[in-house]
Amino acid sequence: MSKPTINRLTSADPDFLPSLDKLIAWDMVSNSEVESAVAEILTQVRARGDAALIEYSNRFDRRDCQSISEFCLSSEQLQEALASIDSVTRDALETAAARIRDYHSHQLQESWQYHEADGTVLGQQVTPLESVGIYVPGGKASYPSSVLMNCIPARVAGVSEVIMMVPAPDNELSPIVLAAAAIAGVDKVFTIGGAQAIAALAYGTETVPKVDKIVGPGNIYVATAKRKVFGSVGLDMVAGPSEILVVCDGQTDPDWIAMDLFSQAEHDEDAQSILIAWDADYLDAVQQSIEKLLPEMERRDIITQSLANRGALIEVADAGEAVTICNRIAPEHLELSVADPESWLPNIKHAGAIFMGRHTAEALGDYCAGPNHVLPTSATSRFSSPLGVYDFQKRSSLIFCSEQGASDLGRIASVLGRGESLTAHARSAEYRIKK
């Protein structure tokens, strides 16, 4: 095996910031061929409904289904899948689900009101979405954690119906994914994937109900379809490749840090794994650990390519400079592998999830710690947040005006309405002014 490579940067280099910005840049736009193909799929599903779903699923997933009913899984089939998995796996899924449910229960927003002296009442009413669609990658791939992380917050929020789309190429389905659906409380499962699944959820067909929001990861066709249907339906986010940024004070076992970098690099060749430290000797030690441990990894080819493409070991002057660079990168996952991670929090402005302390591996957050693993990527943590219960709730403003309140506010609204030359607004308010 050739020697693994990873970019090595130092903040003292005059070209450091341009080099860093180039490394972390990610263009999330699709290509024209994908755009065209997805647009046609969306048009056909919208126009032809179930017939288009059958046609595209047979073509792209190499299936031979004649009826849409062949793509529908019953609750009994989900329960059979749950019963078929081994007890250790079932216990792990149920424990993870319980922790995710407990964490997200703390996020519930509540309705509120307050009363003014004249009897006017103002407030906010919080209501759940009525229906949500979850997309889960399928086939031989097994992502039960995606089922738990996307479905459970919706259930905690009070969503009435949760529909899951999971492709079954060559009729392959993962029992553990279906078991997770049973545990999480999915209502309906359709074995449909790709852009056609997104179209069905966004527009509805004779069999697939139209939903209010679509969540969950997918390939470039799924991501492109999600972007195109936004507006007809709500979205969680259109995510880019997975990222981890580790900041270390040089006191953590280098093997631990190397494996933490691998944990994101193994996702795909475009994933990003970066380590920041202010000790050059420690960065050397981590590089040695990378070279030592990489041959053991099942996905070593992907890891090697990922580290060469977008990985980096970055030497900085001190902890303060490390914070500055963290905020510039705005990572999806930030590991603070330092002695007093809590003292760093006031200065960390942008991160999807922050893993505090040497023992807190990012992988724990991926599966079972409790917080959601659906996180903003590609520096979008500057303005976005992890998926949560609040993504499945809506807020409506409440306004009740007493007779006196309407009269007092009417005078203000009249002035402002006439100032904007909207006389109907003004007169509507004026009718309610007490004479």
Sheet with 121-128, side-by-side order of all strands: 112-115, 121-128, 393-400
Q: Which of 267, 333, 350, 373 is catalytic?
A: 333
Pairing of strands 112-115, 121-128: antiparallel
- HSE at residue 368, side-chain half, CA atoms within 13 A, is 8
For the purposes of burial, counting CB atoms within 10 Å of the CB of 334, is it exposed (0-12), middle (13-18) or buried (19 or more)? buried
Q: Which of 243, 332, 335, 362 is catalytic?
A: 332
Distance CA 287, CA 35 (A): 40
- How is residue 424 written in tokens? 């109907």
Is 115 annotated in the active site? Answer: no
CA angle 164, 31, 59 (to 5 degrees): 50
Is 333 annotated in the active site? Answer: yes
Residues that are catalytic: 332-333
